[in-house]
């Protein structure tokens, strides 16, 4: 029981810090203060270090002697390479998913759609990012192949924060319109219990994001 509690605490702390890196509360270049994090989570620095090591393994931070734990950046070539891999993987989701689409998946997607519609008039990049993360959680939950699920999860958080850094310079209505289009198509696929279609929709959405980023950079 004690070991399970330790594992749960590790996972909770890891996901919370990862989420804050993703949402740019800790932007690239930020030095994570171990003492402050340990105090915040009411633990010593010793159990915190495996969390930071896992984040390092996933490419979200780097650890330098004499400096500390630093949130990493990412170059555009790596961004494109990762998006290419993500599109390839999501295109095979129907081959690696035996998980049954449940009513909860549909219900949660409908909730995301409802909240996303509110963002047309109320621009809020953080709320948008959180909704993107929730959609990713729904998709991950449908992948029964554990290695694929783990890789998909790592790659998402590796580059999602980079996409979010571009948001302030993007056409907000266009971003939300494209997001809602994806959400509605995902909802249709879920209701039809069509995992293959879900993969196609997601792959197309990833390509749209990559195209928008590339177009913005070309114009800059």
Specify the pLDDT at position 217.
83
Distance (Å, whole) CA 199 – CA 205:
10
pTM of the full structure: 0.90
Q: Residue 215 burial (CB < 10 Å; 0-12/13-18/19+)?
A: exposed
Sheet bearing 61-64, strands edge to edge: 31-32, 68-71, 61-64
- Per-residue pLDDT tens digits for 34-60: 999 999 999 988 889 999 999 999 999
**Helices 146-166, 125-141: inter-axial angle, 10-degree rounding:** 170
Convert 87-96 to b/e letters by CB count within 10 Å (16 or more is b): bebbbebeeb
Specify the pLDDT at position 77.
86
Q: Which helix (H) or strand (E) holds 183?
A: helix 172-191
Specify the pLDDT at position 188.
97
């Amino acid at each position: 029981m004690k070991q399970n509690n330790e594992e749960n605490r590790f996972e909770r702390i890891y996901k919370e810090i990862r989420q804050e890196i993703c949402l740019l509360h800790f932007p690239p270049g930020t030095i994570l203060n171990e003492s402050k994090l340990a105090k915040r989570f009411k633990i010593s620095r010793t159990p915190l270090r495996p969390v930071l090591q896992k984040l390092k393994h996933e490419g979200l931070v780097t650890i330098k002697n004499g400096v500390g734990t630093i949130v990493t950046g990412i170059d555009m070539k790596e961004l494109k390479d990762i998006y290419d891999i993500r599109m390839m993987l999501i295109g095979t989701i129907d081959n690696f998913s035996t998980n049954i689409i449940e009513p909860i998946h549909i219900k949660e997607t409908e909730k995301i759609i409802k909240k996303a519609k509110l963002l047309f008039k109320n621009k809020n990049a953080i709320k948008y990012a959180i909704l993107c993360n929730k959609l990713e959680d729904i998709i991950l939950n449908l992948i029964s192949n554990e290695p694929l699920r783990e890789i998909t999860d790592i790659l998402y958080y590796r580059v999602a924060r980079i996409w979010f850094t571009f948001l302030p310079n993007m056409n907000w209505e266009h971003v939300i319109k494209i997001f809602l289009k994806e959400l509605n198509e995902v909802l249709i696929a879920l209701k039809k219990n069509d995992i293959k279609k879900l993969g196609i929709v997601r792959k197309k959405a990833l390509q749209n994001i990559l195209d928008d980023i590339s177009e913005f950079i070309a114009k800059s």
